[in-house]
Amino acid sequence: MDSAAVQRWARLAGGPSPWLHDEVGNRMAQRLSWIKATPATWMDWSPVRGGAAARHIASDVYKNSDKLLPPSLSDIELKAIKKANELDRSIWQRLMRQGPSVASADTRVGMLWANMCLHDTHMPTSMIRQWHRHLAVDGFLMFSCLGPDTLTELRALYARMGWQAPCHAYTDMHDWGDMLVANGFNAPVMDVERMVLSYASAERLLQDLRQFGRNLSIERSRVTRGRRWRQRLVAELERGLPRTPDGQLMLTFEIIYGHAHKPPPSVKVADTSAISLDDMKQMLGTARQVGKR
């Protein structure tokens, strides 16, 4: 992935969340019923593009829990969140100026919610490590992202035309599971579903794709394309994409859902062992809780 393109896309995160992200977030929120624990605090990692489901969680599912925002948010994202909160809040809440607080670098929460953001970073290991660092012991992670079967019809059309791929490569759910384990998470549970979206026209399809994301591949075309190329693209989409029985254009999206738990830190026994101060505090806290039981 092109790091400059990733950062440029992140800077554009000022508008409303894409409807697909809202839908995926709602489906992921239904999975919270599988978890008996109720976190005292939780963090919404992608509060702008991550969809409206997090606001539903804050008001209905975890209404007695404190919602926090990650410390890595840009000024554009903070302005967008403030605007959304003003629209969502009641008159009384506006008078009281209530709203989610921005966490500090050492904040620990009981649940971290990361909807539809992992596939848009060129440093996924770094992001997963940040998630692990912000979770308290016995806290849990809920995340979703696009999988490798996303846009299969569009990628096939581009290949037939001899064009560079229309999107960057997406990671398989088994690789995400391995990456979670390698970075301290325990027993990740991965699930996948495929959504086939239908469109009345190529123009409507392109409108959605532009809202959903960008091609962040370092191998994407560097040529500036004009109006005539776009007209050709629309014509090829109308001609080359598969259609439903009633004539709608079809496009597949693979959605990966992941859930993982943060276990107590462990220290490898050796002649000399090293452990961070944060891990030591968490180990001592866990030991006290066990003693009280």
pLDDT of residue 291: 46
pLDDT of residue 100: 77
Query: What single-letter amino acid sits at 53?
Result: A
pLDDT of residue 99: 63
Region of residue 151 (left: phi > 0; alpha: psi -120 to 50; beta: else): left
Burial-class residue 155 by CB neighbours within 10 Å (0-12, 13-18, 19+): middle
Class of domain 3-148+170-195+254-288: alpha beta
Low-confidence residues of the chain: pLDDT under 50: 91-97, 290-291, 293
Residue among 149, 153, 156, 146 nearest 250 (CA): 153
Asked if 66 and 35 count as a contact pair (C-beta separation under 8 A), the reply is no
pLDDT of residue 141: 97
198-202's contacts with Cβ under 8 Å and 24+ in sequence apart are 198/244, 198/248, 198/249, 198/250, 198/251, 199/248, 199/249, 199/250, 199/251, 200/248, 200/249, 201/238, 201/249, 202/233, 202/234, 202/235, 202/237, 202/238, 202/241, 202/249
pLDDT of residue 293: 44
pTM of this prediction exceeds 0.75: yes
pLDDT of residue 221: 81
DSSP structural state of residue 241? S
Asked if 244 and 258 count as a contact pair (C-beta separation under 8 A), the reply is no
Q: Please name the residue that has the structure tokens 């596939």.
A: 119
pLDDT of residue 94: 44
In the three-class reduction of DSSP (H, G, I as helix; E, B as strand; rest coil), residue 94 is classed as helix
pLDDT of residue 81: 77
pLDDT of residue 72: 84
pLDDT of residue 14: 76
In the three-class reduction of DSSP (H, G, I as helix; E, B as strand; rest coil), residue 32 is classed as helix
Residue among 11, 213, 195 nearest 116 (CA): 213
